[in-house]
Amino acid sequence: MRTLLIAAAALALGGNAYAGGNAANGKAISEKVCAACHGVDGAKPLAPENPVLAGQYSDYIVKALSDYKSGKRANPVMKAFADPLKKKDIEDLAAWFSIQKSSLHFQR
């Protein structure tokens, strides 16, 4: 019960960063794998067909990657890159991209 309460509190405090996601590890994976198309921070994709990931909601990123992996969201390119990712990698990538400055938001 106590553990459950602590877990619930941690989730509530998570804010924008995905609960448990390690942004530094997300960056490392992005540099190796995702940067070629999305850019390391996901803000300036290298081609218009690659979506901006910077500043995207972390739970949206987790859902998109999980759905590519399961095939629920069908895209042969992203399926190939999502397949080798573990659940933890997905959470780390989501933590990294969600905190980057982004053209998806008005810059004040």
Q: Which residues would be at the binding site for ligand HEC (CB under 6 A)?
A: 29, 33-34, 36-38, 49-51, 53, 61, 64-65, 75, 77-78, 81, 93
Positive or negative, the CA dihedral 26, 32, 34, 36 is positive
Q: How far is Cα 69 from Cα 64, in angstroms, rounded to an integer?
A: 9
Task: Give the Cβ contact number of residue 58 at 10 Å.
Answer: 24
Distance between CA 9 and CA 23 in Å, rounded? Answer: 20
Shortest distance, position 29 Cβ to ligand HEC, whole Å:
6
**Residue 6 or residue 32: which is nearer to ligand HEC going by CB?**
32
Rounded least distance, CB 28 to ligand HEC, Å: 11
Residues in the chain: 108
Is the CB of 61 or the CB of 99 nearer to ligand HEC?
A: 61
By beta-carbon proximity to ligand HEC, the closer residue of 15 and 51 is 51
What phi-psi label fits residue 15: left (phi over 0), alpha (psi between -120 and 50 degrees) or beta? left
| Shortest Å, Cβ 20 to ligand HEC | 17
We find the least distance from the C-beta atom of residue 57 to ligand HEC, in angstroms, to be 10
